[in-house]
Amino acid sequence: MSLLILSDVHAGYGKMEVLHGIDLYADEGEIVTLIGANGAGKTTTLNAICGLVRITEGTVTFRGREITNWPTKDIVRLGMTQVPEGRKLFSELTVRENLEMGAYLRKDREGVRRDMEYVFELFPRLRERAGQLAGSLSGGEQQMCAIARALMARPQLLLLDEPSLGLAPLLVEQIFEILQRLNADGTTLLLVEQNARMALEIADRAYVMETGRIIMQGPAKELIHDPRVRSAYLGEP
């Protein structure tokens, strides 16, 4: 059974429906990516999964349990965390305190300390900045901190919303390398991206969204060669 299953999920804001029936799944150990243009509903999909947007129809199943419209804190406790779009760090707290916040629901001090070491190893820059206020970090460092914070919850499934947003190409590559390493260490990733090329290169499978529907899906290696994807999202003729 897959780790995460969405079946026929409808969701939206108030009376406006944004998602018109999303079906998608992620198996354990996979990198799954969700690509699409602005306003396609990618972020809404992520928010619906982790209980931040109300689902009006359909179900979300995670680790064999139906979690449709659960409170976010309970979903986090079950092992899923989101790295929100645009970093959204706690700017008045230091980097170390931000990381501690990620482990908010955990009780095992020893494990938290080990995981802190682990993320410092992944992102050595954060160790240098540990005592600094998160609001004073550069864009790339903030993204690293956001990912590290999410990891501190020790999630089985990590939802990433546009981790490449606003970063220099060099930094984007660095972030994606780290995502691959995380995946190799056993974390399943659901990656929402506008930078379709990078996303398809590291993903196992991919979904293409348009106006609230999934219009294409398949192994990433196939989609990357699909002429429609190439012209619409990879900027090639």
Partner 1 sequence: MRKTLRRSWERLQRQNQERPARWLGTALVALFLFLVLIGPFLPLSPQYRSRAADIFLLCVIYSIIALGLNSVTGYTGLLDLGIVAFASIGAYTATILYDRPWMQFPGSFLVVLLVGGLHAALWGLLRGAPTLRLSGDYYAIVTFAFAEIVRIFIRTEGWLTGGGNGFKNFPAINLFGARLIEGEYQGILKTSGYWEYPHGGVWHGGTAGFYYLSLVLLILTVVVMYRLEDSRTGRAWFAMKADETSAAACGINLSAYKLYAFAISAFFAGVGGALLGFKMNVVSTNVFDFWFSVVVLCGVVLGGMGSIPGVIAGTFIVYGLGELLREQVRIGGIVLQVDDRARFLFFGILLVLVMVFRPQGLFPRRPVEESKKLAVEYDSPLYRLGR
Residues lying near partner 1 in the complex (CB under 8 A): 47, 50-52, 71-73, 76-77, 81-84, 88-93, 97, 100-102, 104-105, 129, 132-133, 135-141, 146, 149-150, 153, 166-171
Spatial contact of 235 and 196, defined as CB atoms under 8 Å apart: no
Residue number with CB closer to partner 1 (178 or 216) = 178
Residue number with CB closer to partner 1 (86 or 218) = 86
- Taking the complex as a whole, the smallest distance from the CB of residue 152 to partner 1 amounts, in Å, to 9
Residue number with CB closer to partner 1 (8 or 13) = 13
- Taking the complex as a whole, the smallest distance from the CB of residue 45 to partner 1 amounts, in Å, to 15
- Taking the complex as a whole, the smallest distance from the CB of residue 103 to partner 1 amounts, in Å, to 8
Residue number with CB closer to partner 1 (91 or 211) = 91
7 CB burial (10 A radius; 0-12, 13-18, 19+):
middle
- Taking the complex as a whole, the smallest distance from the CB of residue 225 to partner 1 amounts, in Å, to 28
Strand runs (DSSP E) across the chain, as ranges? Answer: 4-13, 16-26, 31-36, 55-62, 65-66, 80-83, 157-161, 188-193, 205-210, 213-219
- Taking the complex as a whole, the smallest distance from the CB of residue 231 to partner 1 amounts, in Å, to 25
| Separation of alpha carbons 5 and 49, rounded Å | 10
| Separation of alpha carbons 4 and 188, rounded Å | 10
| Separation of alpha carbons 71 and 69, rounded Å | 6
Residue number with CB closer to partner 1 (34 or 167) = 167
| Separation of alpha carbons 157 and 155, rounded Å | 5
